[in-house]
Amino acid sequence: MIKKILLKRITMAVMTLLITGQVYAQHQKIINPGEVWPDNRGEHIQAHGGGIIKIKNTYYWYGEERRRGLDSNKRYVSCYASKDLTNWTFKGDVVQMTDPENLGQRWVLERPKVFYSKKSRQYVMYFHLDNATYKFARVGIAVSDRPDGDFKYLKSFRPLEHESRDIGQFIDDDGTPYLVFEDRPLGFHIVRLSDDCLSIDREMCLIAEHMEGGAIVHYNGLYYAIGSALTGWKPNPNRYATAKTLEGPWSEFKDIAPKEKNTYGSQSTLLLKVSGKKDTTVLFLGDIWKPKEQWDSRYLWMPVQIGDGKLWLPEPTPFKIDVKNGTAN
Ligand code: GAL
């Protein structure tokens, strides 16, 4: 009798798992840099050139959706949610857009970054909007009342009238949102966003270096900025500089890893600070691009060695991140 009940219960549990699809949702303990990264459905995470924001205890990761079989006239931004930065639940494609500015075939939507405006209680997405020859060079903005979309297209512009291609996001400890953008004629701009995040409030500084994939972190009273050289999808030695304030002056740029490693095949996208009860860990978030098989592009996430003006990206190895304690090992 007991055996029968037990069998029934097990069968029921298996059925529920199958029906809800949770059978694929294996709990992951480790982040494996450069490997296929399954989401809750068991599918490789598609959030390339992405950005991350934390709302209460949930991280939202937005990025370029590049899975196979997409409508080639549309561009897509995916959204994933996680409480531990390791196990990610697919929340859907929160942008599914047709060419918003008559840019023509092969128009470009890249490097989406979402900010939350406390003032307007809106989620504001910035992205690099361009035509096939990358001459439009603007940011686009889409907004949503919820973190998981849908985001509606609002407008496009050139920040402070400058060319803007790769963009990066930085949210300071006091919550102030900043955008980093690559301006081909002039260099690497850091600008502060307005309270509603819909426009640029002011320029913090222009670093006269030609760098893209811009990322910034504020750690122990110092700002660290990372950028990559302008080599398209091909990896290059990414470099960093430091400053006491975002206005600068900024130090010389130095390598973040041995030059010949070309950032271990990746390109900078974001620096994520994970502060917990015991410690603070800074993660380097990079993309390993596969231009011909974009759906298979990977991620290089790795804790950096940081402090006293120095930043170093060690040889990638699988690691565990503990967001409650702010530790990684
Ligand atoms: C890279 C850039 C990517 C994408 C690519 C296209 O330099 O970081 O976001 O624009 O070029 O070639």
Percent of the chain with pLDDT over 70: 92
CA of 16 from ligand 1 middle (Å) equals: 43
Bond from prior residue into 150 cis (ω within 30 degrees of 0): yes
> Counting atoms of ligand 1 from 1, which one is nearest the CA of 231?
7
Cβ pair 199, 124 in contact under 8 A: no
Q: Which helix (H) or strand (E) holds 190?
A: strand 187-193
Whether 212 is in the pocket of ligand 1, judged by its Cβ within 6 Å, is yes
Q: Which helix (H) or strand (E) holds 270?
A: strand 267-275
CA of 197 from ligand 1 middle (Å) equals: 24
Bond from prior residue into 249 cis (ω within 30 degrees of 0): yes
Residue 220: which of 307, 293, 141 has the closest Cα?
A: 307
CA of 267 from ligand 1 middle (Å) equals: 9
Q: Which two tokens stand for residue 259?
A: 């030059």
Neighbours of 199 (CB within 10 A): 14
Q: What angle do CA 199, 275, 86 make, to 5 degrees?
A: 90
Whether 64 is in the pocket of ligand 1, judged by its Cβ within 6 Å, is no
Q: 9 falls in which pLDDT band (50, 70, 90)?
A: low
pLDDT score recorded for residue 24: 54
CA of 232 from ligand 1 middle (Å) equals: 5
Q: Which two tokens stand for residue 109?
A: 């939507």
Neighbours of 134 (CB within 10 A): 13
Cβ pair 180, 190 in contact under 8 A: yes
Position 21 pLDDT exceeds 50: no
For residue 304, the 8-state DSSP code is P
Whether 233 is in the pocket of ligand 1, judged by its Cβ within 6 Å, is yes
Average pLDDT of the segment spanning 296-307: 98
The per-residue pLDDT of the chain, averaged, comes to 95
CA of 151 from ligand 1 middle (Å) equals: 23
Position 70 pLDDT exceeds 80: yes
pLDDT score recorded for residue 33: 98
pLDDT in tens, 131-175: 999 999 999 999 999 999 999 999 999 999 999 999 999 999 999
Whether 213 is in the pocket of ligand 1, judged by its Cβ within 6 Å, is yes
Please identify which residue in the block is written with the tokens 């949610």: 81
Cβ pair 183, 208 in contact under 8 A: no
Whether 51 is in the pocket of ligand 1, judged by its Cβ within 6 Å, is no
Within 8 A by CB and 6+ apart from 137, the residues are 130, 158, 163, 164, 165, 184
CA distances from 140 to 33, 51, 60 (A): 30, 15, 20
Of 4 and 267, the structure prediction assigns the larger pLDDT to: 267
Query: Got the DSSP string for 59-125?
Result: EEEEEE---TT--TTEEEEEEEEESSSSS-EEEEEEEEEE-TT---TT-EEEEEEEEEETTTTEEEE
Average pLDDT of the segment spanning 65-86: 98
Q: Where are the alpha helices (DSSP H) in the chain?
A: 2-20, 262-265
Predicted TM-score (pTM) of the model is 0.93
pLDDT in tens, 181-238: 999 999 999 999 999 999 999 999 999 999 999 999 999 999 999 999 999 999 999 9
Whether 182 is in the pocket of ligand 1, judged by its Cβ within 6 Å, is no
Positive or negative CA dihedral for 245, 248, 251, 253?
positive
pLDDT in tens, 91-118: 999 999 999 999 999 999 999 999 999 9
Question: What distance in Å separates the CA atoms of residue 166 and residue 288, rounded to the nearest whole number?
Answer: 16
